[in-house]
A = this chain, B = another copy of it.
Amino acid sequence: MLSESSLAQAFTARGYKLTRPRRAVLKVVAQAGAGLSPAQIHARAKKFHPHTGLVTVYRTLDLLAECGAVRRVHGEDGCHSYAPASAGHAHHVICGQCHAVVEFEECDLAELLKTVQRRTGYKIQEHWLELFGLCPNCR
């Protein structure tokens, strides 16, 4: 779980100013247990700072992505939502019902990657994995 203060710290560490609208977005992201679209984040952020503009939400999301604090998640329809991400390499499991998102780290693909590399001749550098299912609440 991300804490608002750790996000704030990441911001100031990089020399970004901690403004009211940014705080509002950080608060939303820190509390989010699911992937949220910029518009959804905007709606929630306005509860903390009513004047928050959608543009600032986009800009703040960019910064958060830069810090590695959020990641885009892919849905059937595209990848228009962002989920909180802890430091380091990880992937997401997403509930198809309520969109709750949790991370997992263990992704032992070494064997698979080796096989694919051998069969395709590609040198594989990155991978991208997402799991979909039902969260404990929704099953």
Q: Which residues of A contact B (CB under 8 A)?
A: 72, 74, 78-79, 93, 95-96, 102, 104, 106-109, 111-113, 115-117, 119-136, 139
A4 to B117, CA, bound (A): 28
Q: Which of B72, B93, B106, B122 contacts A95 (CB 8 A)?
A: B122
Residues on the B chain within 8 Å of A104, using CB: 116, 119-120
A96 to B74, CA, bound (A): 19
Protomer copies:
2
Residues on the B chain within 8 Å of A108, using CB: 111-112
A124 to B134, CA, bound (A): 6
Do B131 and A127 have beta carbons less than 8 Å apart?
yes
Q: Which of B102, B122, B127 contacts A120 (CB 8 A)?
A: B102
Do A124 and B133 have beta carbons less than 8 Å apart?
yes
Rounded to whole Å, the gap between the CB of A77 and the closest CB of chain B is 9
Do A93 and B122 have beta carbons less than 8 Å apart?
yes
Do A132 and B123 have beta carbons less than 8 Å apart?
no
Q: Which of B111, B120, B133, B135 contacts A93 (CB 8 A)?
A: B120
Do B74 and A128 have beta carbons less than 8 Å apart?
yes
Residues on the B chain within 8 Å of A122, using CB: 93, 95, 102, 131, 133-136
Contact of A113 with B136 at beta-carbon distance under 8 Å, contacts A104-B119, A104-B120, A120-B102 already known: no
